[in-house]
Amino acid sequence: MTEGTRIPLPSVDRPPQAYGKVAVLFGGQSAEREVSLAGGQAVLDALRTAGVDAHAVDPDGDVVTQLKRDGFQRAFIMLHGRGGEDGTLQGALEIAGMPYTGSGVLASALAMDKQRTKLVWRALGIPTPEFRVLWDSSDVQAAAAELSFPLMVKPANEGSSIGMSKVADAQALPAAWEQARHYGETVLAETWIEGPEYTASILNDSPLPLIRLETPRIFYDYEAKYADGAGTRYICPSELDPQQETEFQELALKAFRAVGARGWGRVDFLCDAEQRPWFIEVNTVPGMTSHSLVPLSAGVAGLDFGQLVIHILEGSLQ
């Protein structure tokens, strides 16, 4: 392992009983429910194998009352998208005084909002592709005139590449906008970056080895992420020069901290032909399925899935 991929993570020697009764929150009602169900079950199984008193909770409308009633002492959040990753659940748990994994209210809400994440990054000099917000048809026309094609069009508040499409010309832009706004009124048109895609997993304030993503599809979409046989390749270690890997890891950690994220998460970026990174988004509750990136990166760093899950749970004690 190169110096750029080394992580100084201490071992976790705490007995499993110290975590108390743990609710693994997964499922929910967002567009990412199926991904959440798969990853949440994997986390639940790993915690139980480690001896943690963990239980599945598919939250209803009053999840805090449910958790208090059943005597839970902390929550492992594996809910993606709205209602679980956007600060709403985090705020309810804060009011209830219940510890939970991952980022807090502000960071969760900010990272879920791709538009405002990009505004924060711009203010701090973190490179992110040029974009326009598409509220109505006049914004669509303005974006077509002001941005260079091709463009990526996507909902500002969804994950797992849901509602995203690559647009080659102005004629195709209105249809892409209509598709994206099925998932929320705020839609972004973003300059397409031609080049390899990378992801930087963050665990307890340390960047894990970078992963380079290769897909035969137009881009790393929902099918490329989750479908068996999609042909996606995950290259980790990333085969970058060690110094460049370290530089990208440090910049990814800066982008992660910029939104106030903590505990664990993932930062996605693209590199252009000049090897300049362009940051796309922060995921504060990444996937934990068999196709997921954080477990892969952690494995290259020397942590198996069970150890990774315990490190994430450990963050709820900080």
Please say if 268 is a catalytic residue: yes
Q: Catalytic annotation on 169?
A: no
Catalytic annotation present for 220:
no
Q: Is 183 a catalytic residue?
A: no
Residue in 30, 36, 160, 297 annotated catalytic: 160
Annotated catalytic residue within 113, 158, 245, 268: 268
* Count of CB atoms situated within 10 Å of the CB of 214: 13
Q: Point out the catalytic residue in the list 226, 260, 265, 297.
A: 226
Q: 291 CB contacts (<8 Å, ≥6 apart)? A: 225, 226, 232
- Has 116 been annotated as catalytic? no
Active site residue 266: yes
Among residues 27, 263, 265, 287, the one annotated as catalytic is: 287
Q: Which residue has the tokens 């669509």?
A: 140
Give the active site residue among 283, 292, 297, 316: 283
For the question of residue 160 being annotated catalytic, the response is: yes
Q: What is the 3-state secondary structure (H, E, C) of the chain?
A: CCHHHCCCCCCCCCCHHHHCEEEEECCCCCCCHHHHHHHHHHHHHHHHHCCCEEEEECCCCCHHHHHHHCCCCEEEECCCCCCCCCCHHHHHHHHHCCCECCCCHHHHHHHHCHHHHHHHHHHHCCCCCCEEEECCHHHHHHHHHHCCCCEEEEECCCCCCCCCEEECCHHHHHHHHHHHHHHCCCEEEEECCCCCEEEEEEECCEECCCEEEECCCCCCCHHHHHCCCCCCEEECCCCCCHHHHHHHHHHHHHHHHHCCCCCEEEEEEEECCCCCEEEEEEECCCCCCCCCHHHHHHHHCCCCHHHHHHHHHHHHHC
- Strand order across the 53-57 sheet: 53-57, 21-25, 74-77
Measured CA to CA in angstroms, residue 197 lies from 24, 193, 214, 256, 272 at distances of: 31, 9, 7, 17, 9
281 is catalytic: yes
Active site residues: 32, 160, 226, 266, 268, 281, 283, 287
